[in-house]
Amino acid sequence: MKKLTATLTLLAGAAALTFAATAQAEPDGEAIYNQACMACHMTGAAGAPIKGDEAAWSERLEQGMDTLYAHSIDGIGAMPPKGGHANLSDEEVKAAVDFMLEPVL
């Protein structure tokens, strides 16, 4: 019984470490963009700036990244908070914004 308890304790500890490592991993901005942002930011739907369109992003970038992140998280104009994906963390939204801006910066 002691051996079984020790094994279960080790397995629980390993699972907790795996979860902690996964939870601390950097969000995948490209994957988040593809799942949550692309529909509007690839087509320009409702005036969304298109990924890689320097002219569309330049005015927004002049406001600073903190403002751009805040608008992405809180919503602005026709864009709802987090692009309508309330399940995304703030860090995931920021990673998607960073991915959208890679070609521009």
d(CA 92, CA 94): 5
pTM: 0.75
What the chain holds in terms of domains, given with CATH numbers, is 27-101 (1.10.760.10)
Structure tokens, 48: 């969304």
Share of the chain above pLDDT 90, in %: 73
Q: Given this model, what pLDDT does residue 104 score? A: 87
The three-state secondary structure class of 79 is: strand
Q: Is the predicted pLDDT of residue 11 greater than 70, yes or no?
A: no
Q: Given this model, what pLDDT does residue 61 score? A: 95
Q: Is the predicted pLDDT of residue 65 greater than 90, yes or no?
A: yes
Q: Given this model, what pLDDT does residue 22 score? A: 52
Structure tokens, 47: 């005036």
